[in-house]
Amino acid sequence: MTSGAGDEVAAPPLPRQRRAFRAAPPSTAVSPPTGGTGPRRTDLALPAVIFLSSRLVTMAVAHVARLMKPQPLTAVLSRWDGQHYLDIAATGYPSSLPPGTGAGSQSVHAFFPGFPLLLRAVARVTGLAGNTAGVVITIAMATLAAVVIWSLARDLAGESVATRAVLLFSFFPGSFVLGLIYSEGVFLAFAAACLLALHRRRWVVAGAAAAVCGATRPTGLVLAVCCAWAAVEAVRSRREWSAAAAPALAPLGFAAWSVYLAVRTGSATSWLKSQHDGWGQGFDFGVHTARTIGSFLVHPLDDFNRMVCVLTIVVVVAGLVLLWRMRPPAILWIYTAGILVPSLFSAVLTSTPRFALTAFPLLIAAARDLTGNAFAVVVAVSAGLMGMLALVAATSLLFTP
């Protein structure tokens, strides 16, 4: 790729970078931008094609579900949380929370505004119905997420690992929600963009992407921590003071949401109260997770939701082992921990597959070690499980996505 001596110093060949990455001790700093010419447009099209191909599976399952339980296709794709996001996009947030606890006190305040604001904007600009706009946004943003994850994995471990990572991401069992009216597509696109920008030292982009995540899901706050860590390392090791832009911008989305709630409802933490009172969510230091695992070991087939949660935990633990072997930059560890700890230490252990999906560094680590027939078998099994979970969630109450 390069011929002059000066060029070789500025942009070492990619194979040498991969060997250095694998041999290095656990990193606490953000790596400099990758040298070379970067990926071609045809390379970036590959992850998009892979992901969109996986949506053919989920859409086929949605049509089957529509026939099994007669209903419009849009009703299948807007089940569960989707209806809450549609309500917010249509009418906004109420000025108060309902009293009491339990199902009767569930409120849309539990859902962050990033996704429904985008949904409302797209619906108004395009004239699409809200549920159609929601599906289009989710699939488009998830496609973007696949492209950015591919780019990040390529920087870390090369193109073949990047392609395998996108296959795992696209056919991961929990990825069926990336065809529903859920916020995961938007969150994943901007979370991956933030981590890629931090890795390449694009500080303003990283901070802006983190701000969007903070306005989209509560776990988006972990990206502000990633930005702060990367900025401290950049200033300490290179006196790169421009890195301060990332942590300065990162909390703005969450802060704006908190100010809005304080003005609208009188409490900046109305979202937290709504989650606790309406859905029973809270942090219990893993007590409920331990009980769920214990109940599964005694009666493994009694509860489908519980079985899926425990099997997902097994996959997550395996992924953490592979991530340790990969020895990635510290920001990937911080992000992964910030996603998994609130999910696995919650007083309500549901929706584990889609929460595990957002911890996508685990999939990059798995893609690095899985090759050949073993990789093909894993992808095939994952695709089958993805279709099964989508069908169960669309036609019954056995599984909570």
Residue 47 counted as domain residue: yes
Residue 18 counted as domain residue: no
Spatial CA neighbour of 307 closest among 341, 353, 347:
353
Spatial CA neighbour of 382 closest among 341, 353, 349, 344:
353
As a whole number of angstroms, the distance between CA 55 and CA 331 comes to 30
* This model's pTM is above 0.95: no
Residue 31 counted as domain residue: no
Q: What is the pLDDT of residues 92-133, one digit of tens each?
A: 999 998 888 887 788 999 999 999 999 999 999 999 999 999
Residue 299 counted as domain residue: yes
Q: What is the pLDDT of residues 366-396, one digit of tens each?
A: 999 999 999 999 999 999 999 999 999 988 8
Residue 291 counted as domain residue: yes
Number of domains into which the chain is organized: 1
Confidence of residue 61 (pLDDT cuts 50, 70, 90): very high
b/e burial code for range 358-381 (CB count within 10 A of at least 16 → b): bbbbbbbbbbbebeeeebeebbee
Residue 143 counted as domain residue: yes
Residue 329 counted as domain residue: yes
Residue 120 counted as domain residue: yes
As a whole number of angstroms, the distance between CA 151 and CA 153 comes to 6
Alpha-carbon 363 to chain mean position? 11
Number of C-alpha atoms within 13 angstroms, CB side, residue 284?
16
Give strand pairing partners of 305. Answer: none
